[in-house]
Amino acid sequence: MIWGFLTHGFRISGKKFLAVLFLYFPSFAWFILFQQFLMSLIQDLFSEGFISNFWMNIGGALFYISIICSAIIGSMISEKLRRRRFLELWIFLGVFTTLLFMVNQGLLFLLFISVLGGVSFGLGFPYCLAFFAESTNVEERARVAGALIFTTFFSIILCIIVSTGLQCGLIEYVFICALLRSISFFSILIDPHERIVCKERGWMTVFTTRGLGLYYLSWLMFSVAAGIFTIVELPDYLQTESISVLKSVFLYLGVILSSLFSGFAADHFGRKRTIMFGSIILGISYTVFSIATDEPSFLLTRIISGVAWGIIFVAYMLTVVGDLATTCSKEKFYAIGVVVPIIVFMVFQSFSGTFTPSVPIGAISAILSILLFISVIPLLYAPETLPIDKIRQRRFEKHLRKLKKLVKEERNRSDS
């Protein structure tokens, strides 16, 4: 019902929407599941905590760095190649890399899979996002983004439930991931993925686009705040096996909760306000965490964090960059604007467990608050990417609806 309500009135054709959905959600969901699986496999190789963390972070770093490099390369070559062929190769590489887990689980091989996994995500993901931006128009972009994020995290939770419920072993889990990734092939079947004929833009265009830098800056600070949070020392009651699964599930639930509504908000009230709201929610989640005393209150903070991330994924990662990108070379905008800041944050997170000591939340809550506060400042100066006439048009339509409701109520009262 909620889905129907919030996707109602989309101008994007059903076919195009499905093509975007099938391309985006399996890739992003696969990325999250793949990295978690990879890390857990590396971690299981060692019994000693420090060494296991060290190699896990090396694996993570290789994975993320290969994403950065391949995203930059991918955003350049995808404009030159036949898109369908490029996508076929990219999706096939993802499925193939997943299946490689069945061959060997030794450390060196896992590090090799880290690199290959990073490439099989980073290479085509900027195009994936660019295809979303090309297929949507500005007034409904955020709502479509909301639907994509909703489906992504819903599918992740579904995979976790299925794999946990069926007590899946390595082979079954690998198959689930491979199957998930291969769903993207449907996108190629549905849509021709023809290239837009236009003049290719250089990297300088990305850096000189008005306002984008301010959004990048805010996003980076937001990421750094989230990164710092990862070095927070968890209290004893959270050092259990079950909580590590639950904390991810609750985070994803939060994302699911906010994704559709944040898309709706970003299309109706503007991107800036929605992103600012996301920053505030994240700040609230940190505050609640600092006073959380037991498992349920901790899980509540995870849901609140998820809500904030849902808003940021929808409004920033997908929508704002798509709004500001030029018609051509959208891949480059997404590569810099989205993939790189995420990776910067993840690299930070990846190294934090090994090289930085865990600190109590009380010690860094002030820093986090300041960072989140500062992350809002660039947004104050950034341009609103939802055209003002669309906002006015929506206000006008809303007023007209309310007016009609008032008059109807009055007439019904008179009649009765």
Partner 1 sequence: MNTGKTLAFHSYKGGTGKTTLVANLAATFAMMGMRVCLLDFDLYAPSLTAYFRKTPELFLNDVLAGDAKIIDVLVDVSSELGLKGKLFLGFSSPKKSDIYEIEILHDMKWQYAAIRRFLAAKKELFSEYEIDYVFLDTSPGIRYWALNTIATADFLFLLMKISDMDIIGTKRMIKDIYESLTELGSKYFIILNKVAGASPIHEFNVKEAKERMLWETEVKKDIGAEVIGSIPCFCDIQFDKHEFLCAINQPKHQFSRRLLEIANKIKGIG
Residues contributing to the site for partner 1 (CB under 8 A) = 396, 399-400, 402-404, 406-408, 410-411, 414
Kindly state the smallest distance separating residue 414's Cβ from partner 1, in Å: 6
Find the shortest distance in angstroms from Cβ 394 to partner 1: 13
Nearer to partner 1, 82 or 398 (CB): 398
Closest distance of CB 11 from partner 1, Å: 18
Residues 81/68, Cβ–Cβ less than 8 Å: no
Nearest CB to partner 1, comparing residues 9 and 14: 9
Degrees, nearest 5: CA angle 198-203-204: 105
The structure tokens 């048009």 sit at 393
CB of 158 to partner 1, least distance (A): 42
The least distance separating partner 1 from the CB of residue 181, rounded to whole angstroms, comes to 46
85/402 with CB nearer partner 1: 402
Give me the count of residues in the chain: 416
Residue (388 or 403) nearer to partner 1, CB? 403
CA-wise closest residue to 122 among 363, 385, 272, 342: 342
Instruction: In angstroms, give the least distance from the CB of 34 to partner 1.
Output: 48
Q: Read off the amino acid at residue 128.
A: C
Q: Smallest distance, Å, CB 416 to partner 1?
A: 12
Residue 404 CB, shortest distance to partner 1, in Å, is 6
Q: Which residue has the tokens 């480059």?
A: 332
Which lies closer to partner 1 via its Cβ, residue 293 or residue 412? Answer: 412
Q: In a 3-state reduction of DSSP, which class is residue 13? A: coil
Q: Whose Cβ is closer to partner 1: residue 164's or residue 393's?
A: 393
**Amino acid at site 192:** P
Among candidate residues 155, 159, 154, the one with its CA nearest the CA of residue 257: 154
Q: Which of 251, 331, 288 is nearest to 76 (CA)?
A: 331
Q: Which CB, 196 or 406, lies closer to partner 1?
A: 406
CB within 8 Å of 183: residues ≥ 6 apart: 22, 25, 26
Secondary structure letter of residue 294 according to DSSP? S
CB of 408 to partner 1, least distance (A): 6
Classify 93 as helix, strand or coil: helix
Report phi then psi at 388, rounded to 5: -60, -35
Cβ closer to partner 1: 363 or 407?
407
Exposed/middle/buried for 182, CB within 10 Å: 0-12, 13-18, 19+? middle
Any idea of the CA torsion for 320, 192, 121, 162, to the nearest 10 degrees? 100
Question: In a 10 Å sphere around its CB, with 0-12 CB exposed, 13-18 middle and 19+ buried, how is residue 243 labelled?
Answer: middle
DSSP state of 123: T
Q: Please, which residue, 82 or 399, has the CB nearer to partner 1? A: 399
DSSP state of 359: B
Between 9 and 357, CB nearer to partner 1? 9
CB 67 within 8 A of CB 343: yes
Cβ distance 140 to 96 under 8 Å? no
Please, what is the minimum distance in Å from the beta carbon of residue 15 to partner 1? 29
